[in-house]
């Protein structure tokens, strides 16, 4: 303010008298000059009187607004000249500048920039002085600049459009005038806002103190001091919060041309001290010749407390890696400000060698060491090279760990292209201690890696990666894994993994044209899980994931197929206590999965396995298979399948009340699946294929050479189809095929839906003797040397024998069986065929036909469990061409009921129909037994043994030779606990006999043989009474005695209860024992001895 005070001294007036002419001339000139000055003073006084603050304010607002592209509004402009001459002092209460450069931009763009984008600057009170005399010499000398409440708002809309480019209509060519200032100061906090619309970035600076004071020496040198806070945000994301800074140092000016210099300028940011050096030249263009800045000992914790670029989750890792930073920034080449690009500035970052402290699982600190880290960042010059950033190779090392990292990025100001290289080795155990996420897995072994990752950050935003590429190798030497919490252990020897991937574009929402592939191989791999062990040798695996088109993670129109291939020289699977062992050789796996990323579930997948050899041990059984292949595929249906709720047939529930009162097996076949499994079946289509060329099943339970071949099996959620299967057990050979259908409805319906089956079995040869002999031998191997059929089929009644045996009513099955030759004891059966059907709980064996050496059998049989109160069995049997001698030789037990039939020989044909009901406890309802039997005899011959000879003597028949009989037609029935033989005629020689009678189930009998025609002139008959085991023969009348027959029917029978299950068990045991006794297989033929 001192320069604006009155410093003009008063002039002492002198009068000169009597001077010389020259002197008087000089005085005259002086008066003339004084008059001129006086007149000029009068003119200036007049201007001052006329140029009031109101008029001056109006002139400035009007004229200044005309000369620039902005509207200037100043309030109460005042000036002082006389008291401060030659300095003109100006005071203004306030100034506001509104830019007009953004007028007329499109409304869409206007709505996307800040509302106050037109506002450029404003101040409160403003005071300053300018030397008028020096201004006439084009020297600008100002003093005492005071600015109150400065506000700057700098908005850049594009490269050619901004709100502060208000002087662009003027020519800035020519020399810049000399400029000097005694001092300049901001008297209250100032705010400067810089907004860049293309990058959506904003810088807000609050200046709490700012001043510049001219130094005495050297000339044109100033002390510049600036203090305040700065904040930076990008696209509404805070990158740098309120960070304090303090600038203090010497500012040097030079003119003709204008040069601005900073030398060892002190700078403080966030409390850290640094220095800046700068040279700027203003000639025809503004040019930055030199710039450098340096900071030392920066604590990243302080920086990260202000910088928001790194997520909080990564802050801890950065602090561990970077304890201290040294930063140096320099300008590589002079920069002209009218150049299209940015100045070529290079920043060097140095992190001294130091420690990385990581807490371990025992709350102790794990200390690693890192080498010196050096990095450089360059903005480039847009001509010779683009902007780049480079992190020089550095190491992180410690006990069992050595990792080398480096990175390089180009075009960092536009589309950064980043390349990261990682190489090193580590002991897995040390990694488990270092990273908490790995601790539960108990890893061991050495890991070596060499990987390169490159990608480009799109200029559209930081959430877009372009041209992502990943390539690398990982080697795991003697790698081990022990995740005991998951019951998992693994071990691999020399596991090599090579991987690579490319992705043209990836964002947080979309993925485009991605491809990833890998190759892995291991000399040996071992896996233990839940008591099972898997060992694989010489394993190789490769995979590829390819995504076509641009798709959203949440709504992908086309799925990404994932293909995998694997092979191994051998694979072995063993179970708990060696109960399961499986060995596979030449294993090949091929698969394809179509996945929808982000859905947590594949849209479709497929796999194929081919193995030349499989060997498995399951308990004491040994299974081998050759030429094996399997395939599986599944796809998600467009619409969830809703299977109709099956309505039960009325017959299925007719006995529902009775079922509650009697013990029984399940009346329906059912499977209860978890709800998630049901939903999976409803939403997916599936197919499984299994083919095995040949194989063996060797087990002590049946110690024969058991083999199978040509197994071809297909399965889906709808059906299981056996296309072919050949099986042999030593000399027994068969083939089979079949299908189970309606499985989806059966598995997902809320009610008991039916399951359908269709099976065909063709038997070439079945040797029952050999099978039963091997079964007996197997019992002795598995149950001890004294074991027999009684060991597994006891001759006693068990609780399960008194439970009603119901056949599942929702099974609909058709089975066709044929056997070319069947051997049982000394019986050989040929061309056996039958059909078996099961429906509504009713089992039908229909059209059973078989040929034998003694005759032909045709039979139908039914077991009906549709009503638990009416369990029943029905039989319809036809015997034809039966040769009696051979028949009774094979079915000797039938002679116990009809002992005298042994005396007959010839050919018989028989037809029998029978029905029998059962109680719900599986006891036979004997009074309900009904049968109707027709027998025809041809070429019959009666042999006279002692019993028959006794009868023939009574009929006065001479001779003991066999008697040739005429054809016989016999009708018998069983009913009401009786067997009744209706009278039939027997003709031979000169005799005609009539025979008939009955017996009950206790064996009491009465039969009558009437002599209707004989050489004896009078009629008579013979009665056969007593018991079947001790018959009594007496002469009687020539006709049947009804009274004696009633004695048989009216006698009270001895109660005999027969349990069907016990009868069947005894029958099965007897059949097995007899067949085993007839077996002639030598012991050397058995696989297990």
CA distance 664 to 804: 4
Query: Which of 57-66, 623-632, 760-769 has the highest mean predicted lDDT (pLDDT)?
Result: 760-769
Position 988 scores a pLDDT of 84
* Mean of pLDDT values over 565-585: 73
Position 320 scores a pLDDT of 57
Mean pLDDT estimate for the chain: 80
Main-chain phi, psi angles of 130, to 5 degrees:
-135, 135
Detail the DSSP E strand segments found in 976-1029: 978-988, 991-1000, 1004-1013, 1020-1027
CA distance 1074 to 508: 78
pLDDT at 336 over 80: no
Main-chain phi, psi angles of 797, to 5 degrees:
-85, 130
Position 10 scores a pLDDT of 43
Position 768 scores a pLDDT of 95
pLDDT tens per residue, range 774-796: 999 999 988 888 888 877 888 88
CB atoms within 10 A of CB 885: 14
CA distance 180 to 138: 12
Query: Which of 218-232, 412-426, 537-551, 971-985 has the highest mean predicted lDDT (pLDDT)?
Result: 971-985
Give the 3-state secondary structure percentages of the chain, helix then strand then coil, rounded to 5. Answer: 20, 55, 25
Structure tokens at 361: 């699982």
pLDDT at 6 over 60: no
Query: Using the 8-state DSSP alphabet, how is residue 9 labeled?
Result: P
* Mean of pLDDT values over 271-291: 77
Instruction: Determine which helix (DSSP H) or strand (DSSP E) holds 428, and give its type and residue range.
Output: helix 428-434
- Find all residues with CB under 8 Å of 922, minimum gap 6, and list them: 801, 802, 803, 804, 805, 871, 1059, 1060, 1061
Position 868 scores a pLDDT of 92
pLDDT tens per residue, range 135-168: 667 677 777 888 898 898 988 887 678 887 776 5
pLDDT at 1074 over 80: yes
pLDDT tens per residue, range 451-498: 888 877 765 445 567 777 888 888 888 888 888 777 788 888 888 888
Position 814 scores a pLDDT of 97
pLDDT at 509 over 60: no
CA distance 978 to 1004: 10
- Find all residues with CB under 8 Å of 491, minimum gap 6, and list them: 478, 479, 480, 481, 524, 525, 526, 527
Query: Using the 8-state DSSP alphabet, how is residue 417 labeled?
Result: E
Position 5 scores a pLDDT of 43
Q: Of the candidates 495, 538, 537, 536, which has an alpha carbon nearest to the alpha carbon of residue 518?
A: 495
Residues in the chain: 1089
Give residue limits of the domains in the chain.
6-15+30-198, 924-1056
Structure tokens at 619: 């308990």
CA distance 207 to 151: 10
Q: Of the candidates 583, 585, 553, which has an alpha carbon nearest to the alpha carbon of residue 568?
A: 585
pLDDT at 598 over 50: no
Q: How far apart are the first and last CA of the chain?
A: 125
Position 446 scores a pLDDT of 84
Query: Using the 8-state DSSP alphabet, how is residue 923 labeled?
Result: B
Structure tokens at 447: 């890991």
Choice among 439-443, 808-812, 981-985 with the minimum mean pLDDT: 439-443
pLDDT at 172 over 50: no
More confident residue, 371 or 362: 371
pLDDT tens per residue, range 219-255: 778 888 888 888 877 666 676 778 888 888 888 877 6
Say whether 717 sits in a helix, a strand or coil.
coil
Instruction: Determine which helix (DSSP H) or strand (DSSP E) holds 232, and give its type and residue range.
Output: strand 221-234
Contact criterion met (CB below 8 Å) for 600 and 578 = no
Give 180's strand partners.
141
Contact criterion met (CB below 8 Å) for 483 and 442 = yes
How far apart, in Å, are the Cα atoms of 236 and each of 116, 199, 202, 239, 1012? 17, 11, 9, 9, 126
DSSP string, 846-908: EEEEEEESS-EEEEEEEEE-SSGGGEEEEEEEEEEEEEHHHHHHH-GGGGGTSGGGGGEEEEE
CA distance 12 to 562: 108
CA distance 13 to 21: 20
More confident residue, 157 or 833: 833
Query: Using the 8-state DSSP alphabet, how is residue 978 labeled?
Result: E
Strands 119-123 and 126-131: unpaired
Structure tokens at 902: 């042994």
pLDDT tens per residue, range 722-767: 999 999 999 999 999 999 999 998 988 877 889 999 999 999 999 9
Structure tokens at 437: 């996420």
Instruction: Determine which helix (DSSP H) or strand (DSSP E) holds 314, and give its type and residue range.
Output: helix 312-321
Position 328 scores a pLDDT of 83
Given pLDDT bands bounded at 50, 70 and 90, which one contains residue 1026? confident
Position 553 scores a pLDDT of 47
HEC-encoded secondary structure of 256-275: CCEEEEEEEEEEEECCEEEE
Say whether 966 sits in a helix, a strand or coil.
coil
Detail the DSSP E strand segments found in 371-400: 373-378, 388-398
Say whether 1010 sits in a helix, a strand or coil.
strand
Structure tokens at 408: 């390089």
CA distance 735 to 863: 27
More confident residue, 629 or 734: 734
Give 367's strand partners.
357
Strands 811-824 and 515-529: unpaired
DSSP string, 14-78: ----S--HHHHHHHHHHHHHHHHHHHHHHHHHHHHHHS-HHHHHHHHHHHHHHHSSEEEEEEEEE
pLDDT at 557 over 50: no
Given pLDDT bands bounded at 50, 70 and 90, which one contains residue 44? low
Position 461 scores a pLDDT of 46
User: If you search the block for the tokens 């065929």, which residue do you land on?
Assistant: 833
Give 126's strand partners.
92, 147
pLDDT at 277 over 70: yes
User: In percent, how much of the chain has pLDDT > 90?
Assistant: 20
Say whether 692 sits in a helix, a strand or coil.
strand
How far apart, in Å, are the Cα atoms of 971 and each of 873, 884, 931? 22, 18, 11
Q: Is the dihedral of CA 427, 433, 437, 441 positive or negative?
A: positive
Q: What is the pTM of this model?
A: 0.61
CA distance 664 to 801: 10
Position 736 scores a pLDDT of 97
Given pLDDT bands bounded at 50, 70 and 90, which one contains residue 14? very low
Given pLDDT bands bounded at 50, 70 and 90, which one contains residue 13? very low
Contact criterion met (CB below 8 Å) for 188 and 215 = no
pLDDT at 21 over 60: no
User: If you search the block for the tokens 């908005």, which residue do you land on?
Assistant: 155
User: Exposed/middle/buried for 678, CB within 10 Å: 0-12, 13-18, 19+?
Assistant: middle
Residue 491: half-sphere exposure toward Cβ, Cα within 13 Å: 7
Position 76 scores a pLDDT of 87
Structure tokens at 32: 């003339």
- CA diameter of the chain: 225
pLDDT tens per residue, range 894-908: 666 666 677 888 888
Given pLDDT bands bounded at 50, 70 and 90, which one contains residue 971? very high
CA distance 1062 to 218: 127
Instruction: Determine which helix (DSSP H) or strand (DSSP E) holds 212, and give its type and residue range.
Output: strand 201-214
Choice among 394-403, 467-476, 551-560 with the minimum mean pLDDT: 551-560
- Find all residues with CB under 8 Å of 568, minimum gap 6, and list them: 536, 537, 538, 539, 540, 584, 587
Given pLDDT bands bounded at 50, 70 and 90, which one contains residue 511? low
Position 733 scores a pLDDT of 96
Strands 178-181 and 139-147: parallel
Given pLDDT bands bounded at 50, 70 and 90, which one contains residue 579? low
Q: What is the CA radius of gyration of the chain?
A: 57
Given pLDDT bands bounded at 50, 70 and 90, which one contains residue 571? confident
- Contacts of 358-361 with CB under 8 Å at 24 or more apart are 358/320, 358/434, 360/433, 360/434, 361/433, 361/436, 361/439
């Amino acid at each position: 303010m001192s320069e604006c005070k009155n410093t003009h001294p008063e002039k002492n007036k002198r009068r000169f008298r009597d001077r010389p002419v020259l002197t008087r001339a000089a005085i005259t000139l002086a008066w003339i000059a004084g008059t001129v000055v006086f007149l000029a003073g009068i003119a200036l006084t007049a201007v001052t009187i006329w140029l009031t603050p109101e008029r001056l304010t109006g002139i400035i607002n009007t004229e200044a607004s005309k000369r620039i592209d902005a509207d200037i509004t100043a309030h109460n402009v005042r000036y002082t000249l006389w008291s401060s001459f030659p300095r003109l002092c100006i005071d203004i209460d306030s100034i506001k500048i509104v830019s007009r450069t953004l007028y007329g931009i499109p409304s869409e763009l206007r709505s996307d920039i800040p509302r106050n984008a037109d506002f450029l600057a404003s101040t409160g009170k403003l005071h300053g002085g300018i030397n008028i005399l020096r201004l006439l010499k084009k020297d600008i000398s100002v003093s005492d600049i005071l600015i109150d409440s400065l506000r700057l708002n700098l908005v850049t809309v594009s490269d050619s459009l901004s709100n502060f480019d208000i002087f662009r209509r003027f020519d800035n060519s020519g020399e810049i005038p000399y400029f000097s200032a005694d001092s300049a100061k901001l008297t209250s906090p100032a705010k400067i806002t810089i907004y860049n619309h293309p990058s959506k970035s904003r810088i807000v600076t609050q200046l709490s103190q700012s001043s510049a004071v001219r130094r005495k020496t050297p000339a044109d040198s100033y002390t510049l001091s600036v203090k305040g806070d700065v904040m930076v945000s990008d696209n509404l994301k805070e990158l740098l919060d309120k960070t304090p800074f303090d600038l203090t140092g010497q500012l040097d000016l030079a003119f003709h041309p204008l040069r601005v210099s900073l030398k060892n300028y002190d700078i403080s940011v966030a409390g850290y001290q640094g220095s800046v050096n700068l040279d700027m030249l203003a000639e025809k263009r503004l040019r930055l010749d030199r710039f450098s800045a340096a900071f030392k000992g920066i604590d990243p914790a302080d920086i990260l407390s202000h910088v928001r670029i790194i997520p909080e989750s990564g802050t801890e890792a950065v602090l561990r890696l970077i304890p201290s930073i040294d930063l140096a920034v320099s300008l590589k080449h002079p920069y002209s400000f009218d150049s299209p690009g940015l100045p070529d500035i290079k920043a060097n970052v140095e992190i001294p060698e130091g420690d990385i402290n990581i807490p371990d699982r025992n709350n102790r600190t794990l200390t690693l060491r890192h080498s010196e880290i050096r990095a450089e960042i360059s903005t480039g010059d847009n001509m010779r090279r683009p902007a780049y950033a480079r992190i020089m190779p550095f190491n992180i090392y410690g006990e069992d760990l050595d990792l080398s990292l480096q990175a390089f990025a180009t075009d960092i100001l536009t589309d950064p292209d980043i390349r990261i290289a990682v190489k090193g080795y580590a002991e897995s155990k040390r990694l488990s201690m270092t990273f908490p996420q790995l601790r539960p897995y108990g890893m061991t072994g050495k890991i070596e890696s060499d990987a390169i990752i490159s990608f480009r950050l799109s200029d559209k935003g930081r959430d877009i990666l372009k041209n992502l590429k990943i390539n690398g190798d990982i080697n795991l030497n003697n790698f081990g894994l022990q995740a005991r919490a998951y019951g998992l252990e693994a071990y691999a020897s020399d596991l090599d993994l090579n991987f690579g991937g490319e992705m043209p574009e990836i964002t947080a929402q979309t993925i485009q044209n991605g491809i990833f592939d890998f190759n892995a191989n291991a000399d040996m791999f071992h896996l233990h899980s839940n008591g099972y062990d898997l060992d694989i040798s010489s394993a190789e695996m490769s995979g590829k994931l390819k995504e076509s088109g641009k798709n959203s993670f949440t709504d992908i129109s086309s799925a990404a197929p994932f293909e995998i291939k694997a092979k191994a020289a051998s694979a072995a699977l063993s179970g708990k206590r060696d109960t399961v062992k499986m060995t596979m050789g030449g294993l090949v796996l091929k698969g394809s999965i179509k996945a929808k990323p982000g859905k947590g579930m594949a849209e479709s997948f497929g796999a194929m396995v081919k193995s030349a050899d499989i060997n498995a041990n399951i308990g004491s059984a040994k299974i081998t298979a050759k030429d094996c292949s399997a395939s599986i595929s599944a796809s998600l249906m467009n619409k969830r399948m809703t299977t109709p709720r099956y309505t039960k047939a009325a017959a299925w529930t007719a006995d529902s009340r009775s079922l509650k009162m009697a013990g029984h097996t399940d009346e329906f076949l059912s499977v209860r699946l978890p709800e998630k499994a049901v939903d999976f079946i409803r939403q997916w289509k599936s197919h499984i294929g299994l083919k095995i060329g040949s194989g063996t099943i060797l087990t002590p339970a049946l110690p024969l050479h058991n083999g199978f071949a040509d197994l071809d099996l297909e399965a889906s959620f709808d059906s299981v189809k056996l296309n072919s299967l050949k099986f042999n057990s030593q000399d027994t050979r068969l083939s089979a095929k079949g299908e189970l259908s309606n499985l989806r409805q059966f598995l997902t319906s809320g009610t008991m839906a039916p399951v359908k089956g269709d099976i065909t079995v063709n038997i070439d040869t079945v040797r029952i003797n050999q099978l039963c002999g091997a079964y007996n031998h197997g019992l002795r191997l598995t149950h001890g040397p004294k074991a027999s059929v009684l060991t597994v089929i006891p001759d006693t009644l068990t609780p399960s024998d008194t439970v009603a045996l119901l056949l599942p009513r929702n099974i609909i099955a058709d089975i066709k069986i044929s056997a070319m030759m069947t051997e049982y004891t000394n019986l050989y059966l040929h061309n056996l065929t039958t059909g078996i059907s099961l429906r509504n709980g009713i089992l039908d064996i229909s059209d059973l036909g078989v040929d034998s050496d003694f005759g032909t059998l045709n039979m139908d049989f039914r077991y009906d469990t549709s009503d638990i109160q009416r369990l029943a069995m029905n039989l319809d049997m036809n015997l034809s061409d039966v040769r009696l001698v051979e028949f009774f030789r094979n079915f000797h037990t039938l002679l116990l009921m009809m002992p005298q039939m042994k005396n007959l020989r010839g050919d018989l044909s028989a037809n029998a129909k029978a029905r029998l009901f059962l109680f719900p406890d599986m006891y036979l309802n004997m009074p309900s037994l009904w049968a109707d039997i027709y027998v025809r005899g041809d070429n019959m011959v009666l042999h006279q043994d002692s019993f028959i000879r006794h009868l023939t003597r009574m009929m006065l028949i001479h001779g003991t030779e066999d008697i040739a009989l005429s054809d016989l037609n016999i009708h018998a029935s069983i009913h009401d606990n009786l067997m009744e033989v209706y009278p039939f005629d027997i003709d031979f020689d000169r005799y005609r006999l009539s025979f008939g009678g009955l017996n009950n189930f206790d064996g009491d009998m009465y039969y009558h043989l009437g002599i209707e025609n004989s050489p004896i002139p009078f009629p008579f008959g013979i009665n056969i009474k007593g018991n079947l085991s001790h018959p009594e023969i007496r002469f009687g009348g020539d006709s049947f005695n009804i009274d004696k027959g009633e004695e048989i029917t009216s006698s009270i029978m001895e109660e005999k209860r027969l349990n069907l299950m016990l009868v069947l068990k005894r029958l099965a045991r007897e059949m097995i024992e007899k067949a085993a006794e007839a077996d002639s297989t030598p012991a050397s033929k058995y696989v297990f001895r």
